[in-house]
Structure 1
Amino acid sequence: MDLGKVGMQTLLKYLNVTLLFAVFLPGTITAAEAQTLSTHSSLASYNSALPGTGITSNFEDFSSVGSNFGMSQTSGDTWNGFSVVASSAGSFGASGYCPQLNDPFGSFPTPCLDYNAFAPAVPGIVGAFSNAGAGNAQMVFTPSGKTIGFALDYVDWNDENGTTNVERSAIRVFLSNGATVDVAGPAVSTDASPGFLGMVVDASLIEAGVYISSVLWYGLEDELVGIYNVRTTQGIPVISVEKNSTAWDPAGIGKFSIPGNEIYYTISIENNGNDSTDSNSLFIVDNLPSDVEFWNGDIDDGGNETFADVAPVGFQQIAGSGIAFNPATNLRYSTSTSAPSDFDDCVSIPLDSSFRSDIRYICINPSGVLDHGSTSPQIDFVFRVRIK
């Protein structure tokens, strides 16, 4: 019998999470800002800047846009992972949506991009700005979840109006740690080919849990821009679970895992992702083999005092975690033949300092969040059984 291989079901409940899309203009950022965000002019560069694991991505192509219609000026329009609201308008009209950005016959309230010969025949957002500056002619993008990166295709950034080297619009990015990053727009261009824009939060900030909270895009002069093919990226937890067994041998006499002897089971849970778990979302269900009996007494009885709680299950934070475990409220059991689906399916059983063969499932629902970061936060749960 291999006591290290047991049936174990680990259920992780996370709140639904979505992503933010934000727009910015290519330009030069300061050294301090470079430590906050990196900008990218190709999809390959953008992808290479993202973490290799612990992320999830969405793609929005605005395929549901079938006719010209105005953008919300109040509550915002919700798309795949972000909402966007526009305020005021420029001489080009109001910001809105178009079924194809190269339509030269765009009608009220939203003109499509008939100013650029390279505009694609795809649906997208038309951003129209005046020279009112931040606080008036603007678009605000707000996340419906934590976003560490976004990317998009664009066309017709800055129409020629007889001026040269004039910045026509600008972006202010707000991060969840209170920092802001301003990105300047490019010089005026005419009939520019479609381009790519990407932004990724710096790795050290991702590790600290920082994400894009909102983006303000505002006009400095009259500006008309087409936006399509939006990609958003969010950090997610990546949870690994491992269960190991060792002989319980407090006297150090060299006991083996044979019938009549006791063993420690250790369940190790680690987060190798780029976001923490939702608060109180961990739910661990351990299925005990039929040939062991669970010790329903203080785990330290008869041995060294290793765990502070007087409980059948001991708890350890191996690396910084954010998890708290109170056996009185976070520990239950099930005597059923089928696995419980949530913590409410489990019951409390008082300590009786006996080996229980009727307990088939151990249910653990600790409090707090399992953090993320370079330390790969880890927690351990330990309990004793006796081999029949």
Structure 2
Amino acid sequence: MAHEDDALEHERASWKPSPGLAVAVTDPVQNPGLPPHRTRMTDQDPAAMKRAVRTVYTLFYVSVAASIWAIAAYMLFPIESGRIIDIRHNNLFIGLGIALALLAIGIGAIHWSKAIMSDKEFIEPRHATRGRDVTRAAAIQVFDEANEESGFGRRTVIRNSMIAALVASIAPGIVLFRGLAPFDSPEHPDAGNPVALLSHTMWKEGSRLAHDPTGEPIRAADLTLGSAVHVIPQELAELSHHDGYLEEKAKAIVLLMRLLPDQLIESEERKDWSYNGIVAYSKVCTHVGCPVALYEQQTHHLLCPCHQSQFDVTDEAKVIFGPAARALPQLPITVDDEGYLIATSDFNEPVGPSFWERH
């Protein structure tokens, strides 16, 4: 091994490049430095700086005004009135107020950083981060320099207007939670009791099943095998929006399906709830109330598009997958003397989400 090492060292020492071989020697990459600094108009002209400052805090105050307008719109166009025009105006003007509030904050913050904050380029050397006193003092110095460059502590009008805009922008969202609170009144005596509200719908004995939204009654003979029809009580089609059409429809919507009679698995108490293989179930999902309207004809499964709960139509709409806690309420049906499908009663349990069962 010693002789081999000596031979390698001798070979290295005696090696010389061939006459035609060029050996490139490169220097380390040179630092190109920073480009020339371009001075902004606000840095050259004090009047321009004042205009920029006024623009920024004006935008922040516009944001405050827009947030206040969103709250006012919630009160001026109450959705509790039930009028469709109020609901549309409520959504439109609250949305415009919140959008303008957030847009003004964004534009103001960008203009502040572009026109007022220091824009001088600098190189920050990288160094090891350690939790020593010197490091902590350096961190404090960085915050102090950032405060000085941004003018956050010095330009109190901009700072205070921005804080006011941010605080005000949250207010409309907080106010909108008012719509979730119960509002008992002579017109809505059960508004604070979800069980009472969801226990009764417009379905009653003798109510004809009608197409949604036309209100045209449905004959059992007209339903083909495998069909799925969106259904409402015929009386509901006669209601106006002012009379609570939307509220009643939200509870009474039904999906009507026709299967082969021998495909249905029915308990003894529900033997007469279907008619010749025709079954009707509430469309309101028992999870959070989304409309269950996706029907798989081959598997006879109903699918909720919101959170993928699945219900078996052949087995009393029991839950077979997903977060729903209970089966869809079934509407008992039969036919009248003219062959039209009718309800024999209302649902025998509250429709919609199962939160009302919690104690």
TM-score range normalised by the length of the shorter chain:
under 0.3
Q: TM-score, normalised by structure 1?
A: 0.17
Would you tell me which structure has more helix in proportion to its own residues? 2
The structure with higher relative contact order (CA 8 Å, sep 6+) is: 1
Q: TM-score, normalised by structure 2?
A: 0.18
Larger radius of gyration: 2
Would you tell me which structure has more strand in proportion to its own residues? 1
